[in-house]
Structure 1
Amino acid sequence: MSVDDFWSSVHRVVTGAGAYITDERGRALLVKPNYRDHWSFTGGIIDEGEHPAQACAREIGEEIGLDLPVGQLLTVQWSHNLAHIPYALVNFMFDCGTIPADTPIRLQAEELDDYGFFSHEEAKDLMIDFAHDRLLAAARARQTGELVYLPPAEGGLIG
């Protein structure tokens, strides 16, 4: 087998990076993309040449107009058989700190319609299940200091 044939046969994944940001009351910052029905974290697909923390910082700046430090890796989640994605998705969630709830947010108008700070219970009604699982795991990881690997999520839309 040639090197080109080998690499063309290797399984591919899409990688994403998300930001776990909370306010002083512990509510999670979520954004409402204009291209899907559910809310999610600030974050997105990792560009070629970026590592996950760089992508997270870039997405924070692009999506909500903030320059926040990207801290500890909190969760890793493998998802597959997702609607509209031909490959599995590996998502890295980073601790990007706590900000005051009245921090001025500048939304990326091309992609986002709204944002808000939500309790874990409120977020459950806004997010798809495996993204909400990631939210709970990120909160737990922030408290314990231990990285959480989530069980594979299957089906549904991107979280």
Structure 2
Amino acid sequence: MSDDFWSTVNRVVTGASAYITDERGRVLLVDPNYREHWSFPGGMIDAGEHPAQACAREVAEEVGLTVEVGRLLTVSWVHGLSHVPYPVVLFTFDCGEIASDTPITLQTEELDDYGFFTLEEAERVLAGHAYERLRASAAARDSGVLTYLPPGSPPGQGGLVGEQG
């Protein structure tokens, strides 16, 4: 392929995150010290990693947990983030349930705090696209159906893309 062809191909940054809940169904979120809003435990996928590997690595680094990375719940396409030069494709995996008193070891270079949040509480601390991903992840865990969240999808309008089992 020519250089002209490759210059027309979209470039994206990829990330992987964990949907982890406690015994009351509240989601584990972290407070990064480098941005305004809270987020899921997770981060960018390194060269040579696949999304599930990155998810497990990031959870271990950020909150000190060894988790079993389960089923893919959502894939979302986010663009227009001021701190990222390209669109971001985010993979969110079901990483199960932990007790709310499980010891968490924060990666203090990047994180200021963590907490377990209900959907209603999470809406106040997450960016809009992350809150939609949270809602879609909760629904996907319950339904067993993978959800794709396209850019600019209206709240609650992520597309179901297929059965997972």
> Which residue is equivalent to 2:6?
7
CA distance in 2, matches of 1:80, 1:37: 17
Q: Deviations over 1:47-66 (max 9, x none)?
A: 00000000000001000001
The aligned amino acid for 2:96 is G
* Pairing 1:43-122 to 2, within 5 Å after superposition: 43-122=42-121
CA distance in 2, matches of 1:48, 1:115: 27
The aligned amino acid for 1:35 is Y
> Which residue is equivalent to 1:36?
35
Gaps of 5+ in 1: 155-159
Q: What TM-score results when the alignment is normalised by the length of structure 2?
A: 0.89
> Which residue is equivalent to 1:16?
15
Q: Deviations over 1:95-146 (max 9, x none)?
A: 0000000000000010000000000000000001110000010000000000
CA distance in 1, matches of 2:119, 2:151: 21
Structure with greater contact order relative to length (CA < 8 Å, sep ≥ 6): 1
Task: Return structure 1 stretches of 4+ with deviation > 4 angstroms.
Answer: none
The alignment of Structure 1 onto Structure 2 pairs a total of residues equal to 153
SS in 2 for 1:58: helix
Deviation at 1:5, TM superposition (A): 4.2
CA distance in 2, matches of 1:145, 1:64: 26
| RMSD after superposition | 1.3
CA distance in 2, matches of 1:98, 1:44: 20
Q: What TM-score results when the alignment is normalised by the length of structure 1?
A: 0.92
SS in 1 for 2:104: coil
